[in-house]
Structure 1
Amino acid sequence: MEQLFQKYYFNLCLFAKKYVNDSDLAEEVVSDVFFNVWQNRKTLSINSSLQSYLFVATKNQSLNLVKKAQASFVNEEMSDLHLKLSHYNSDDSLEYTELRNRIDLIIDELPPQRRIIFKLNRIDGLKYKEIADQLGISVSTVQKQMLEAIKYVSQYESQFISSILLFCFLDIYVTIC
Structure 2
Amino acid sequence: MKEDRILFECVKKDNQRALEQLFQKYYFNLCLYAKKYVVSADLAEEVVADVFFKIWQNRKTLQINTSLKSYLFVATKNLSINVVNKAKSDYLKQEIPEISISFSHLNSDESLHYNEVKIQIDQIIEELPPQRKIIFKLNRIDGLKYKEIAEKLGISVSTVQKQMVEAIKHVSQYESQFITFVISFCLSFIDV
TM-score by length of 1: 0.54
Computing the radius of gyration from Cα coordinates, the structure with the larger value is 1
Partner of 1:163: helix, strand, or coil?
Answer: helix
2:186 alignment partner in structure 1 = 168
2:83 alignment partner in structure 1 = 66
Q: How large is the RMSD of aligned CA atoms in angstroms?
A: 3.7
Cα distance, 1:98–1:111 mapped onto 2, change above 3 Å: same
Cα distance, 1:104–1:64 mapped onto 2, change above 3 Å: farther
The amino acid that maps onto 1:91 is D
> Would you say the 8 A contact 2:149–2:160 is kept in 1?
yes
Correspondence list, 1:114-125, <5 A: 114-125=132-143
1:111 to 2:124 alignment: no
Partner of 1:171: helix, strand, or coil?
Answer: coil
1:146 to 2:164 alignment: yes
Mapped to 2, the partners of 1:121 and 1:65 lie a distance apart of 19
Number of residues of Structure 1 aligned to a counterpart in Structure 2: 117
- Please list every run of at least 4 consecutive aligned residues from structure 1 whose deviation after the TM superposition is greater than 6 angstroms: none
Correspondence list, 1:3-42, <5 A: 26=37, 29-30=38-39, 32-33=40-41
1:127 alignment partner in structure 2 = 145
Cα distance, 1:150–1:109 mapped onto 2, change above 3 Å: same
TM-score by length of 2: 0.50
Mapped to 1, the partners of 2:171 and 2:122 lie a distance apart of 10
Note the residue ranges of structure 1 that are not aligned, 5 or more in a row.
1-14, 18-24, 37-55, 74-79
Note the residue ranges of structure 2 that are not aligned, 5 or more in a row.
1-32, 45-72, 91-98
Q: CA deviation at 1:92?
A: 2.2
% of aligned pairs identical?
59
